[in-house]
Amino acid sequence: MIIDDNFKYKDLIMQIEVLKCHYTDILTSFSWKDLKKKNDFIQTTKRCVYALNFEDWKKDKIWEYLNGDEELDTLKKFM
């Protein structure tokens, strides 16, 4: 999964639904035997999100959205 660190916040939010689909599809592709690989993928994705050049609270909201803990409407409010 690729998150372009040159994206502006608005650009990322415009594509966040696609990113979330990719993220959840990849997560569900791991078998229960591949927990280490799954955890590595989660950590790598989280590092990519937190490497973005946004305020920390925006990164938090993006990460929460990817994990189903935040609504898209909330992210769009800050565009």
pLDDT digits (tens, 9 = 90+) for 15-47: 999 999 999 999 999 998 889 999 999 999 999
Tokens coding 8: 């502006």
Please tell me the pTM assigned to this model.
0.91
Cβ–Cβ < 8 Å for 41, 29? no
Q: CA of 22: how far to CAs of 15, 45, 57, 66, in Å?
A: 11, 11, 23, 10
* Percentage of residues in the chain having pLDDT higher than 70: 99
Q: Does residue 4 or residue 63 have the better pLDDT?
A: 63
Residues in the chain: 79
The angle formed by the CA atoms of residues 35, 53 and 49, to the nearest 5 degrees, is 15
pLDDT at 10 over 90: yes
